[in-house]
Amino acid sequence: MTFAGVENLFIAKTVSTADGATIALKNAAYCWVTAVESDHTRKAHITGEAVYACMFRDSYLHHAFDYGGDGHGYGVSLGLHVTDCLTENNIFRHLRHAMMVQVGASGNVFGYNYSFETVQGAGETDLNREWTPCDISMHGHYPNNNLFEGNVVQEIDIADYWGPCGRGNTVFRNKVLAEGIDIPDHSNDQNIAANVLPTDDFGILVETGITGTLSHGNVVNGAVQWDQAIVDHTFPPSYYLTSKPQFFGNLAWPVFGPDVIEQYTLPAQKQFEDNYSGVVTIPAWPRTPPCNNRRRSYALYNSRGQKIANGTNLDIRNRKRVSHIPSGCYYAVIVEGKERVVKKIAVMR
């Protein structure tokens, strides 16, 4: 399959026992998934096998019915001969592993994604007992020469459980907020450069016996850690971009690194905070108050098509009036006279 895409779509998996990925690409080239919101999956929201030069970007992938073993609760998972794919400018929320390469995936780029609320455990309750998972997982079976650049994450592991990673994986200009960067399991010749770790509680841990690790210019708890054998203390803004990407708009770029003094915000993080951290509406209609002789009514439906609220006094623009509604994606149907408009809103607690 070539030159096929999924875009501008909201999709929700509603059968909690239906295993498998939500969007799966196999034997595909030059395909894309863009501007998609995927609410709940069983295994991965997006997975690729035997895929070349595909793109996954500008999407919001969140929640799963299970975060236990056997590949459940993933965001974008690439493996089995996947190469030259780009995963960029996405929001990952409440997943076991947001970004994964495994089983020989090579030459892929994960750039400027925002991941938070990593969880693990069977089902959807009683999660994170004793430990929390990494959101960037190089999952073993020799993934190699992949680039992770400019992401905001909680933890990065090279490798993660299934044996060594191949050479040349590069972690560059990321912000790692919680449990640091780990390199275990004979994963030699990895590159860790210009990352920011706000705390030294975990830092950068390289297992004894691992060789060839390049760790240079990382900012740990405010202090830059340089490799004393490397005289050059400069870095390019990016290892895959030649100029500031368009989706940054007027935001500063690069975002993180020893040469970045200010505290800048990633576009995907700003997108979440502006549009998903409360009640979101697009106040494009109606632009005027209701006419005296026309009655305006509202109905609110969940992603399964079930009506959960209706009436003439439901104001979807008022946070207090929807305070009883659980987090999730909803559809507001607004009727005034013969006009009928549907607006998608998100409620996030």
Residue 114: give its domain's CATH number: 2.160.20
Give how far Cα 169 sits from Cα of 106, 187, 245, 346, Å: 9, 10, 22, 36
Task: Return d(Cα 96, Cα 137) in angstroms, integer.
Answer: 10
Question: pLDDT confidence of 285, banded at 50, 70, 90?
Answer: very low
What does the buried/exposed string (b/e) look like for 7-38 if buried means 16 or more CB atoms within 10 Å of the residue's CB?
eeeebbbeeeeeeebbbebeebbebbbbebbb
326 shares its domain with 203: no
Q: What is the pLDDT of residue 277?
A: 56
Expressed as residue numbers, the domain containing 61 is: 5-274
pLDDT at residue 267 greater than cutoff 80: yes
**Tens digits of per-residue pLDDT, 295-312?**
567 777 776 667 777 665
**Tens digits of per-residue pLDDT, 234-247?**
999 999 999 999 99
322 shares its domain with 337: yes
Question: Mean of the per-residue pLDDT values for the chain?
Answer: 86
pLDDT at residue 94 greater than cutoff 50: yes
Residue 315: give its domain's CATH number: 2.60.40
Residue found by looking up tokens 């709940």 in the block? 40
Task: Return d(Cα 292, Cα 295) in angstroms, integer.
Answer: 8
Q: What is the pLDDT of residue 348?
A: 57
- Choosing from 259, 274, 289, the residue where a domain stops is 274
Q: What is the pLDDT of residue 280?
A: 37
